[in-house]
Amino acid sequence: MNARNVRVRFAPSPTGLLHVGNARTALYNWLFARRAGGSYILRIEDTDLERSEERYEDRLIEDLRWLGLDWDEGPDEPGAPASGEFGPYRQSHRQSIYAEHTERLLAEGKAYRCFCTAEELEAERNLASAEHRPHVYSGRCRHLGAAEIERNLAAGQHFAVRLKIADHPLRFHDLVRGVVEFPPEAVSDPILVRSATGASAGFPVYNYSVVIDDALMQISHVIRGDDHIANTPRQVAIYEAFGWPLPEFAHLSTILGADRERLSKRHGATSVSTFREMGYLPEALVNYLALLGWGAEDGRTEIFTLDELTSAFSLERVTPSPAIFDFDKLNWLNRHYLKLAAPPGLAELAWGYLAYHLPPRESAPEALRSWFDRLLAFFVPHVDRLDQLPAKLAFVFGFDPEASRLVDENSAVLSADSSRTVLAEFADRVRAHAGPVRPDDFKRWMNEVKAATGAKGAELFHPVRIALTGAPSGPEFDKLLPLIEDGAALGLGIPSVSERVERFVGV
């Protein structure tokens, strides 16, 4: 198949937030399509009526756009026409298409009506369980005569529609795993359309609707998670029943947590929106997701822009082995991209995390914006993600001297006689000073305190750091002091150096 015919799809169900595993699937499809110059289709599989919600669809679309994964064809938006000639792109809008194809299979004798009740099917399952064998539908309705079918229909009996499975192995080629084959008895006669009872009455099952959609949308490659491998033989049988050619399949490995169990909420964040709220950049998350099951040809390169990934990506380098989600590696990548981020964009993102201390950005004066840019330039290299900024910057906006003294690490430092002497000498010099404290002032005072007390190194600096920042170690004073003093002048309630010392020594 030439590149111009490559058509792939990402087909999420709007039943929850976009999981990073599904986001990786979306990314691999996007990269494959973009490298081949093909088409990337977004299709919403919303036939689970009890769980599908519009808010989840809105959020997953927002998350895909945030990741930079645009699509060539997809669902229409309110007030806008549908995009693409193969729509509708929501399964809930395609019911008449499925019904038409069901009538075709019934007319050709490739499917049949199953009048078995729920109780009868449960009895079959119980018998199989008692005999310690897999449950396979008995096929009792497969050979009903036309007259009996008509009598059942006339009596208003509910029915499901089942596919007649041919008596030969169901085989497909997987671009990640090679040839995969299932015996026909492993599939039985699968239900295509549910019985006309319950919330999903008369609706096609997933395996049926997805095959019709993929075939009619001319999907060339089905790239998805390996949890769909068990579904594939049923889908192969449906392709065969319609006489449609199979697409190429590529089943991606499972993503596991550090304990080698399937990644779930107990491991931490798992949804794209949660990573976004935590202050991960889309460039970092995309870069990291690409590495979960794929690697560069040189076996070493790990940092890629989206354009670089597009040029480098190939399904041949996707591994079937499970991928371990490593939060430390994601944090490393995020730090890299935070350092590269343009100051205006970074400030726009970071402002919201400190909204408790700041006015709305759109009404902030230029002096405050400029100071905030300097603050970020100094502190962002020391965080893994933006939601760590409030804790990292808490001492800048103010800290509780009394609580600070009670911290075990601080208490051990401050209990020394030398610390009390150093703080007293330092406080005397601060009190005698008029105006903002600058790095040169600080250096001179510390030299004078050193000479007056004989303290040096940690004995000299740690108590002063605790008085100013609440911790015995931290940022370089020559860069920190101007930020504190300039921030104090902005009317944000930030305590100046002299105010900090007075509060602390007075405790």
Q: How far apart are CA 481 and CA 498, in angstroms?
A: 11
End-to-end CA distance of the chain: give it in Å, rounded.
77
Q: How far apart are CA 206 and CA 100, in angstroms?
A: 16
Q: How far apart are CA 208 and CA 163, in angstroms?
A: 10
Listed in sequence order, the residues at least 6 apart from 288 whose beta carbon sits closer than 8 Å to its beta carbon are: 329, 330, 333
Burial class of residue 377 in the structure, from the number of CB atoms within 10 Å of its CB (0-12 exposed, 13-18 middle, 19+ buried): middle
Listed in sequence order, the residues at least 6 apart from 359 whose beta carbon sits closer than 8 Å to its beta carbon are: 368
> Nearest-5° angle of CA 29, CA 19, CA 326?
90
Listed in sequence order, the residues at least 6 apart from 236 whose beta carbon sits closer than 8 Å to its beta carbon are: 170, 171, 172, 246
Extract the tokens encoding 15.
Answer: 């039943």
| Structure-token match 């990548």, residue found | 333
* Ramachandran sector of residue 68 (left: φ over 0; alpha: ψ -120 to 50; beta: rest): left
Show which residues are catalytic: 265
Asked whether the beta carbons of 426 and 445 are under 8 A apart, the reply is yes
> Nearest-5° angle of CA 98, CA 101, CA 103?
110
Asked whether the beta carbons of 243 and 12 are under 8 A apart, the reply is no
